[in-house]
Amino acid sequence: MTDRKAELAANLAVVEERIASACAAAGRARDEVTLIVVTKTYPASDVRLLADLGVRHVAENRDQDAAPKAAACADLPLTWHFVGQLQTNKVRSVAGYAHVVQSVDRSRLVTALSGAAQKAGRELGCLVQIALDAESGERGERGGAAPDLLGELADQVAAAPGLRLDGLMTVAPLAGPYAGREQAAFERLMELSSRLRADHPAATMVSAGMSSDLEQAVMAGATHVRVGTAVLGARPRLG
Ligand SMILES: *Cc1c(COP(=O)(O)O)cnc(C)c1O
């Protein structure tokens, strides 16, 4: 094993143990939680090593980096998640490789994704990203829609050709009433998820929790955690 592969294997083992412990503490089965490794800023060679080590879900947040990486890894049995703020002019590219777009937060983006998915002849899974610190009717600074826009956006995704409504995503807010209260934030997301599932029973995904707060997300009921630094190491640059 190369040094890098051994390092990734050791980090994955630690993360796996954290997820398993959190599931046990929450009285949840381990297979209720899926690990998504966020590979942003790291090279395609790391993605390849991760796939070799059994990782099946990866995430990226910038199309410029993600598109060539996904192309270089097209032979691997991976599900690609897009988790970054998405400009409509990048949608056509993203629809070419992403299986799930987790950052759907406005009506114009839904329309663009639907058009691009149809052109590409693909079905795109979509999560509505919720900004728990956004004001009513607005988008958050790090992307995401205010909770009161959820119903409208969800209905639009569900009705859009080429798109599949899979559920919800959030990033624990740094400001506002949930700042520093990750578990409360994730519990709020779970309430929104219950409400969503009343109208859209198949939209069961709840993507929450990162390297620093995955335990709180698992405790709250998240189905997917997105872990970057705890697996790959501290990122060389902001991303
Ligand atoms: C970078 C990123 C993550 C992973 O963050 P870490 O703290 O490195 O685990 C998760 N979700 C989103 C949306 C991200 O941009």
Examine residue 174 and state whether it is found in any structural domain, yes or no.
yes
| Cβ contact 168:193 at 8 Å | yes
**120 CA distance to ligand 1 middle (Å):** 28
For the Cβ of 103 lying below 6 angstroms from any atom of ligand 1, the answer is no
Report helix, strand or coil for 120. helix
Examine residue 155 and state whether it is found in any structural domain, yes or no.
yes
Place of tokens 């639009």: 156
At residue 238 the predicted structure's pLDDT band, cuts being 50, 70 and 90, is low
**6: exposed, middle or buried (Cβ count in 10 Å: 0-12, 13-18, 19+):** exposed
Examine residue 237 and state whether it is found in any structural domain, yes or no.
no
For the four alpha carbons of 181, 125, 38 and 142, in that order, the dihedral sign comes to negative
- Reported as a single tens digit per residue, the pLDDT across 171-203 is 999 999 999 999 999 999 999 999 999 999 999
Global confidence as pTM: 0.97
Examine residue 17 and state whether it is found in any structural domain, yes or no.
yes
Both tokens assigned to 169: 């995503």
- Reported as a single tens digit per residue, the pLDDT across 91-142 is 999 999 999 999 999 999 999 999 999 999 999 999 999 999 998 888 888 8
Q: Which domain holds residue 42?
A: 3-231
pLDDT for the residue 219: 98
Percent of the chain with pLDDT over 70: 99
Examine residue 108 and state whether it is found in any structural domain, yes or no.
yes
- Reported as a single tens digit per residue, the pLDDT across 206-221 is 999 999 999 999 999 9
Examine residue 236 and state whether it is found in any structural domain, yes or no.
no
**211 CA distance to ligand 1 middle (Å):** 7
- Reported as a single tens digit per residue, the pLDDT across 22-49 is 999 999 999 999 999 999 999 999 999 9
At residue 8 the predicted structure's pLDDT band, cuts being 50, 70 and 90, is very high
Computed over its alpha carbons, how large is the radius of gyration of the chain? 17
Domain of 121, CATH number, reads 3.20.20.10
**226 CA distance to ligand 1 middle (Å):** 6
Q: What is the count of structural domains for the chain? A: 1
